[in-house]
C-alpha cells in the first residue's frame, strides 16, 4: 500500500514543489492551502503522515498539530519552520510533532526525513498489531456464541456489568459460568480491581469460614498469624463464589450478613470491617431442589440471585458448535484446520454432556493426533460415541435424546416403522431390516405389535 501524505501550506509555490517531489518519490499526496482545509482533508484521506507549515493565516501549524494528535495519536506530523525559529520547532516537538524541517530545505533532506518517518510509522503499526494479537491470545474472556440462548446471556451481561447487583450464574458443568463471571467483572467499573474466585465445594468445611472472611492470629489451632479472607482480597473488585450450592448450611447466615451489612468479621477478630466488594456466584446444581429440601436458605438465595443468568447446555445451542470448533482451533494456533461436512454433522449431533469444556478438550486432542489439516469422521475419537458407519450422507441415522433412551423402545419403533414402510408385508419388512423373517415375527410377538386388520 502506498503511504499517504497530507501537505498543508499556504504558500502555493512551495506546496506545489513539495507535492511534486513527494509524488516523484512514490507517495500518494494530498495538498491543502490552509489549516482548516487540511483538517477537513485529514478526515477524508487518513494519511500516515502530515507535513504542515507553521505560520499560516487562520489556523496555524501548531493548532493543526494539536488537532491531529487529538484525533489520531498515531499519525506522524512533520512541521516546516522558517530558518531561525528553533523555539517554535521545540514547542511543536513537545506537542507531539515527529520531526521538523527548516526553510529553505533541499529535496533530498526532505525526502530522507519523510522516509524515516514513514518507516517509523510502519514499525509502530506492526508493533501495535503484534501487541493486540498477544492480548487476543491471552484474552480468556472471549465468550463465543451466536445462538439465541447465548445472545440472551450477552445482553444480560452487558446490562448488569456496570451495576452493583449480585448475579447468580447457573448452568451445567463446562458451560462457561466462570467465563461469564470474568466477563462481567471486566466490563464493570471494577475492572481495575481484583477478581477473586473461591470454590465453595473444594475447601474443607472447617476451613471455609476463615478462607472467606479471614481470621486473626490465635483464633483457632493452627492460626499462627492474621490471614485476610477472600472478601478482603477482593476489596475494590469482584468476588466470585463458585459452586455456591455447596456452601454449608451453617455458613449461609454469615454470608447473608456480609452481603447485607457490607462488612466482614474475621474469625476471632476484633469486629467487623467495612467492605467494597461485588459478589457474583455460580452453581451447577438445581437450586430449586436445594431450596425445597432446605439445603439452601431462601433469603440468601434471593440476595445472591438478584439477577439470575442461566447458561444453556451446549446441546441446546448446537448452532454454536461450528463456531466453537473454529475458535478453539484458532486459540490453539491451528486456524488452517477444517472439519469436513460429515465430521461437522456428527459433532453437531453429539450430546456434549461435558459442554464447552469437553468440546475444547476434544479439539486439543484432535489437533495433536490429526494426520492432516482436514478432520474427517475417522479422526473423531471413539469415546464421543459417534457412529462412524453411518448413512451415505455421513450423518447418524438416529438422534438419541441426551437423557438416554430405552433400547427396547427403540427396537419396537424401528420394527413398526419397517412394517409401515412396507405396507405391513412381513417378508419385505424383514428384508428391509436385513433379518430373517422368523426373527421379525419373533419381535412382533415380543413387543405385542398389533397388525392392522385386513
Ligand atoms: N462460550 C464459550 N466460548 C469460549 N470458551 C468457552 C465458552 N464456554 C466455555 N468455554 C471454555 O470452556 C472451559 C470451561 O468453562 P468454565 O470454566 O467457565 O465453565 P464452568 O461452567 O465454570 O464449569 P464448572 O461448572 O465445571 O466449573 C473454559 O476453558 C472456558 O474458557
Ligand atoms: Mg467453574
**CA separation (Å) from 316 to 145, 346, 351, 359, 419?**
12, 15, 9, 14, 33
User: Chain centroid to CA 194: how far?
Assistant: 19
Q: Is residue 140 part of a domain?
A: no
207 domain residue, yes or no: yes
Rounded to the nearest angstrom, the distance between the alpha carbon of 304 and the centre of ligand 1 is 21
Long-range contacts of 376-381, Cβ-Cβ distance < 8 Å, separation of 24 or more: 376/340, 376/342, 376/343, 377/340, 377/342, 377/343, 377/346, 379/343, 380/343, 380/346, 380/347
199-206 long-range contacts, CB within 8 A, separation 24+: 199/242, 199/243, 200/241, 200/242, 200/243, 200/244, 200/246, 200/247, 201/242, 201/243, 201/246, 202/243, 205/248
Write the CA distances from 6 to 12, 26, 126, 311, 423, integer angstroms. 15, 14, 22, 52, 82
Same structural domain, 301 and 324: no
Check if the beta carbon of residue 451 is closer than 8 Å to that of residue 444: yes
Mean pLDDT is lowest, of 177-186, 350-359, 397-406, for 397-406
Residue whose CA is at the smallest distance from ligand 1 atom 5: 143
> Do 180 and 219 fall within a single domain?
yes
Ligand 1 pocket, 428 CB below 6 A? no
Predicted confidence band of residue 139 (pLDDT cuts 50, 70, 90): very low
Query: What are 42's three cell numbers?
Result: 485529514
pLDDT at 238: 96
138 confidence band (pLDDT: 50, 70, 90):
very low
Same domain, 61 and 127: yes
Cα→Cα distances 126→120, 122, 438, Å: 10, 6, 75
pLDDT at 390: 41
Share of residues in the chain with pLDDT > 70 (%): 93
- Residue 253 belongs to a domain: yes
For range 205-211, the mean pLDDT: 89
Q: Please indicate, yes or no, whether residues 16 and 65 belong to a single structural domain of this protein.
A: yes
Coil/strand/helix, residue 71: helix
Domain check: are 331 and 300 in the same one? no
Predicted pLDDT of residue 29: 95
Query: Which residue's entry shows cell 514499525?
Result: 123
Res. 127: pLDDT tops 80: no
Mean pLDDT over residues 333-344, rounded? 87
- Ligand 1 atom 27: residue of nearest CA: 173
Domain CATH code at residue 374: 1.10.8.60
- Give start and end residues of each alpha helix (H) in 192-284: 205-213, 230-233, 252-261
Q: Compute the distance between CA of residue 256 and CA of residue 264 in angstroms, rounded to an integer.
A: 11
Rounded CA separation 151/375 (Å): 29
Q: What is the DSSP letter of 105?
A: -
Please indicate, yes or no, whether residues 342 and 226 belong to a single structural domain of this protein. Answer: no
Look at residues 310, 341, 361 and tell me which one is the last residue of a structural domain: 310
Query: Are 297 and 326 in a shared domain?
Result: no
Tens of pLDDT, residue by residue over 309-329, are 999 999 999 989 998 998 999
Contact 86, 79 (CB under 8 A): no
Residue (of 5, 24, 15) closest to 108 by Cα position = 24
- 284 touches ligand 1 (CB under 6 Å): yes
Mean pLDDT of 360-381: 90
**205 domain residue, yes or no:** yes
- CA 148 / ligand 1 centre spacing (Å): 18
Q: Is 281 helix (H, G, I), strand (E, B) or coil?
A: strand
Using the 3D structure, point to which of 255, 287, 310 is the last residue of a domain.
Answer: 310
Q: Where are the alpha helices (DSSP H) in 370-454?
A: 407-421, 426-432, 437-446
What digits encode the pLDDT tens for the residues 35-49? Answer: 999 999 998 888 999
**CB 92 within 8 Å of CB 99:** no
452 or 27, which is more confident: 27
Q: How far apart are CA 92 and CA 86, in angstroms?
A: 10
- Last residue within a domain, chosen from 247, 282, 310: 310
**Residue 345: strand pairing partners:** none
Q: Tell me if 323 CB under 6 Å of ligand 1.
A: no
The dihedral formed by the CA atoms of 243, 246, 249 and 252, expressed in degrees to the nearest 10: -10
User: Are 266 and 317 contacting, i.e. CB atoms less than 8 angstroms apart?
Assistant: no
Q: What is the pLDDT of residue 141?
A: 57
Let me know whether 103 and 42 are in one domain: yes
Choice between 391 and 79, residue whose per-residue pLDDT is larger = 79
Residue 146 lies in a domain: no
pLDDT, one tens digit per residue, over 340-355 is 888 888 898 888 989 9
Domain assignment of residue 401, yes or no: no
CA 344 from centre of chain: 22
pLDDT digits (tens, 9 = 90+) for 421-449: 888 889 889 988 988 888 899 999 888 88
Domain count, the chain: 4
| Structural domain includes residue 202 | yes
pLDDT at 391: 40
Q: How confident is the model at residue 85 (pLDDT cuts 50, 70, 90)?
A: confident
| Cis before 324? omega within 30 | no
| Domain carrying residue 267 | 156-310
Better-predicted residue by pLDDT, 18 or 387:
18
- Across the range 415-419, mean pLDDT stands at 88
Residue 42 lies in a domain: yes
CA atoms within 13 A on the CB side of 454: 3
Query: Are 74 and 191 in the same domain?
Result: no
**Burial profile 128-162: b = 16 or more Cβ within 10 angstroms, e = fewer:** eeeeeeeeeeeeeeebbbebebbeebeebbeebbe
Pair 30, 168 in one domain: no
How confident is the model at residue 298, as a pLDDT?
Answer: 95
Centre of ligand 1 to C-alpha 285, Å, is 16
Lowest mean pLDDT among 161-175, 337-351, 360-374, 396-410: 396-410
**Quick check: 387 pLDDT over 70?**
no
Per-residue b or e along 271-306, where b marks 16 or more CB atoms closer than 10 Å to that residue's CB? eebebebbbbbbbbeebeebbeeebbbeebbebbbe
Same domain, 323 and 257: no
The CATH number of residue 23's host domain is 3.40.50.2300
Average pLDDT, the chain: 87
Q: What is the pLDDT of residue 87?
A: 85
Residue 260 Cα to ligand 2 middle (Å): 25
* pLDDT value, residue 396: 55
Query: Which listed ligand is nearest to 181 at the C-alpha?
Result: 1
Give the integer Cα–Cα distance in Å for 267 and 218. Answer: 10
Which ligand sits nearest to residue 241's alpha carbon? 2
Same domain, 304 and 354: no
Mean pLDDT of 185-192: 91
Q: Is 215 in the pocket of ligand 1 (CB under 6 A)?
A: no
pTM of the model: 0.60
CATH of the domain at 418: 1.10.10
Amino acid at each position: 500500500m502506498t503511504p499517504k501524505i497530507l501537505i498543508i501550506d499556504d504558500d502555493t509555490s512551495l506546496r506545489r514543489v513539495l507535492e511534486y517531489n513527494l509524488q516523484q518519490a512514490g507517495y500518494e499526496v494530498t495538498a491543502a492551502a490552509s489549516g482548516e482545509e487540511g483538517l477537513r482533508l485529514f478526515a477524508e484521506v487518513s494519511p500516515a503522515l502530515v507535513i504542515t507549515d507553521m505560520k499560516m493565516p487562520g489556523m496555524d501549524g501548531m493548532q493543526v498539530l494539536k488537532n491531529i494528535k487529538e484525533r489520531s495519536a498515531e499519525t506522524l506530523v512533520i512541521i516546516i519552520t522558517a530558518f531561525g525559529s528553533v523555539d517554535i520547532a521545540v514547542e511543536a516537538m513537545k506537542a507531539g510533532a515527529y520531526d521538523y524541517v527548516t526553510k529553505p530545505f533541499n529535496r533530498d533532506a526532505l525526502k530522507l526525513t519523510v522516509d524515516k518517518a514513514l518507516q517509523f510509522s510502519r514499525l509502530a503499526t506492526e508493533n501495535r498489531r503484534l501487541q493486540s494479537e498477544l492480548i487476543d491470545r491471552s484474552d480468556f474472556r472471549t465468550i463465543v456464541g451466536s445462538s439465541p440462548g447465548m445472545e440472551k446471556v450477552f445482553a444480560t451481561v452487558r446490562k448488569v456489568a456496570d451495576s452493583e447487583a449480585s448475579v447468580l450464574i447457573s448452568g451445567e458443568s463446562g458451560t462457561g459460568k466462570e467465563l461469564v463471571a470474568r466477563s462481567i467483572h471486566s466490563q464493570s467499573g471494577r475492572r481495575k480491581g481484583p477478581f477473586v474466585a473461591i470454590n465453595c465445594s473444594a475447601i474443607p468445611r472447617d476451613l471455609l469460614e476463615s478462607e472467606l472472611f479471614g481470621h486473626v492470629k490465635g483464633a483457632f489451632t493452627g492460626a499462627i498469624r492474621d490471614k485476610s479472607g477472600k472478601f478482603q482480597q477482593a476489596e475494590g473488585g469482584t468476588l466470585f463464589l463458585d459452586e455456591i450450592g455447596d456452601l454449608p448450611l451453617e455458613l449461609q447466615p454469615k454470608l447473608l450478613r456480609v452481603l447485607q451489612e457490607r462488612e466482614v468479621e474475621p474469625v476471632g477478630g476484633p469486629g467487623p470491617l467495612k467492605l467494597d466488594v461485588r459478589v457474583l456466584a455460580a452453581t451447577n446444581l438445581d437450586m430449586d431442589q436445594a431450596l425445597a429440601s432446605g439445603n439452601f436458605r431462601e433469603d440468601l438465595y434471593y440476595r445472591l440471585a438478584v439477577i439470575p443468568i442461566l447458561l444453556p447446555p451446549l446441546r441446546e445451542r448446537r448452532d454454536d458448535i461450528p463456531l466453537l470448533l473454529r475458535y478453539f482451533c484458532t486459540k490453539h494456533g491451528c486456524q488452517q484446520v477444517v472439519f469436513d461436512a460429515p465430521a461437522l454433522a456428527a459433532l453437531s449431533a453429539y450430546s456434549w454432556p461435558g459442554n464447552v469444556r469437553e468440546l475444547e478438550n476434544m479439539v486439543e486432542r484432535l489437533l495433536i493426533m490429526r494426520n492432516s489439516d482436514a478432520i474427517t469422521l475417522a479422526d473423531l475419537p471413539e469415546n464421543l460415541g459417534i457412529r462412524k458407519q453411518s448413512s451415505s450422507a455421513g450423518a447418524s441415522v438416529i438422534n438419541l435424546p441426551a437423557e438416554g433412551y430405552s433400547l427396547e423402545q427403540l427396537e419396537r419403533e424401528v420394527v413398526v416403522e419397517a412394517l409401515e414402510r412396507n405396507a405391513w408385508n412381513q417378508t419385505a419388512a424383514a428384508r428391509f431390516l436385513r433379518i430373517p423373517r422368523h426373527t421379525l415375527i419373533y419381535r412382533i410377538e415380543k413387543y405385542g405389535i398389533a397388525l392392522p386388520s385386513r
